């Protein structure tokens, strides 16, 4: 079944702790600058070694309290898919550009600029990073249509190299929905030439059957140790 306007309304996420949100966002931005600068710096070896020692000291301070992989961060909210540390959209993840996706009519759109930490061929984006962006873009379109699923199939065509440090636009549309399956197409283009896709792709997202939901997410808890809301949903319309 092909759909033209499948967008769903989502509940509002509970307000995060503003102090924690601000601190995590600032730490993410600082680490983003650090990562980008570590791959562009040309300061002498001694200076790089001194900085490494300082960074290890800072890491030890953060390591004083950490969470495991089955515990959500205190800022995360699964029903609204607020994921603070996503490697694509997470404000708290220094590797993330980060890019935010939004609905515009029947399209999901995001803009971003990639850095040298995303480099593959010199001066251009790594093909795997493009795939990372595409997976999140297409998955976001499914989610924003109320069709959360895991990536079952992702096929990409690389038409042209994606330049770093250049404004990009990412767009996606739902092309088919059927049972637990959602098919989405989309692409990455220069913001200055939005109609010429440098990367195009299609993905199939499948909302897992109950046994898989339990296997993957059954142990998941919120930061305070409660079962994570929504992790047991099985109707293919929510996590
Ligand atoms: C703003 C915030 C946004 C937030 C948005 C967040 C975006 C996140 C984007 C990143 C997402 C990820 O990285 S997810 C991580 C990467 N992906 C994974 O690890 C998934 C690994 N694969 C699996 O666990 C499984 O294969 C599943 C869950 C995908 C499907 O298993 P299942 O539940 O047993 O499904 P199954 O019964 O076999 O099939 C159900 C239906 O789907 C179809 N189907 C199944 N696999 C495929 C396939 N590869 N290609 C075509 N169709 C398929 C079947 O034919 C069937 O159709 P019919 O007979 O009903 O017609």
DSSP per residue, 150-206:
EEEEEEEEE-S--BSSS-EEEEEEEEEEETTEEEEEEEEEETTSTTSEEEEEEEEEE
Do 89 and 100 touch, CB atoms closer than 8 A?
A: yes
**What pLDDT, on the 0 to 100 scale, is given for residue 186?**
98
Using CA of residue 224, residue 150, residue 166, residue 110, what is the dihedral sign? negative
**What pLDDT, on the 0 to 100 scale, is given for residue 227?**
87
Pocket, ligand 1, Cβ cutoff 6 A: 81, 101, 135-136, 139-140, 143-144, 150-153, 178-181, 204, 206, 208-209, 212
Q: How far apart are CA 229 and CA 215, in angstroms?
A: 16
Q: What is the CATH number of domain 1-7+14-239?
A: 3.10.129.10
**What pLDDT, on the 0 to 100 scale, is given for residue 8?**
54
Among residues 105, 171, 181, 176, which one has the least CA distance to residue 138? 171
Cα 55 to middle of ligand 1, angstroms = 39
User: What residues in the chain have per-residue pLDDT under 50?
Assistant: 1-7, 231-239
Domain spans in the chain, listed from the N-terminal domain onward: 1-7+14-239
**What pLDDT, on the 0 to 100 scale, is given for residue 233?**
40
Give the Cα-Cα-Cα angle 114, 120, 122 (nearest 5 degrees). 90
SS3 state of residue 53: helix
The residue whose CA is least distant from atom 7 of ligand 1 is: 139
The residue whose CA is least distant from atom 43 of ligand 1 is: 181
Nearest-atom number in ligand 1 for the CA of 100 is: 1
**What pLDDT, on the 0 to 100 scale, is given for residue 104?**
94
Element (H, E) at 110: strand 107-112
SS3 state of residue 221: strand
**What pLDDT, on the 0 to 100 scale, is given for residue 81?**
86
**What pLDDT, on the 0 to 100 scale, is given for residue 221?**
93
- The pTM assigned to this predicted structure is 0.93
List pLDDT tens digits, range 81-118. Answer: 899 999 999 999 999 999 999 999 999 999 999 999 99
Do 143 and 184 touch, CB atoms closer than 8 A?
A: no
List pLDDT tens digits, range 115-127. Answer: 999 999 999 999 9
Question: Could you tell me the strand order of the sheet in which 102-104 lies?
Answer: 102-104, 107-112, 168-178, 181-190, 197-206, 150-158
**What pLDDT, on the 0 to 100 scale, is given for residue 148?**
87
Query: What tokens does 13 get?
Result: 């996420």
Whether this model's ipTM surpasses 0.95 comes out as yes
Task: State in Å, rounded, how far the first CA of the chain is from the last one.
Answer: 22
Query: How many residues comprise the chain?
Result: 239
From the centroid of its chain, how far is CA 229?
A: 20
């Amino acid at each position: 079944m092909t759909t033209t306007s499948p967008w769903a309304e989502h509940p509002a996420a509970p307000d995060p702790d503003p102090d924690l949100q601000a601190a995590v966002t600032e730490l993410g931005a600082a680490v983003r600058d650090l990562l980008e600068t570590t791959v562009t710096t040309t300061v002498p070896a001694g200076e790089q070694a001194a900085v490494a020692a300082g960074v290890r000291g800072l890491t030890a301070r953060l390591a004083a309290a950490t969470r495991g992989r089955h515990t959500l961060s205190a800022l995360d909210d699964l029903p609204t898919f607020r994921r603070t540390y996503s490697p694509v959209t997470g404000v708290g993840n220094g590797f993330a550009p980060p890019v935010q996706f939004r609905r515009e009519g029947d399209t999901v759109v995001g803009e971003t600029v990639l850095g040298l930490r995303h480099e593959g061929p010199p001066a251009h984006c790594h093909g795997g990073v493009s795939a990372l962006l595409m997976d999140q873009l297409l998955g976001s379109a499914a989610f924003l249509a109320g069709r959360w699923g895991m990536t079952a199939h992702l096929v990409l065509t690389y038409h042209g190299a994606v330049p770093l440090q250049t404004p990009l636009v990412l767009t996606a549309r739902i092309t088919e929905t059927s049972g637990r399956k959602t098919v989405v197409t989309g692409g990455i283009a220069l913001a200055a030439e939005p109609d010429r896709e440098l990367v195009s792709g299609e993905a199939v997202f499948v909302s897992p059957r109950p046994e898989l939901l339990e296997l993957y997410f059954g142990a998941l808890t919120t930061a305070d140790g409660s079962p994570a809301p929504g992790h047991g949903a099985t109707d293919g319309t929510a996590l």
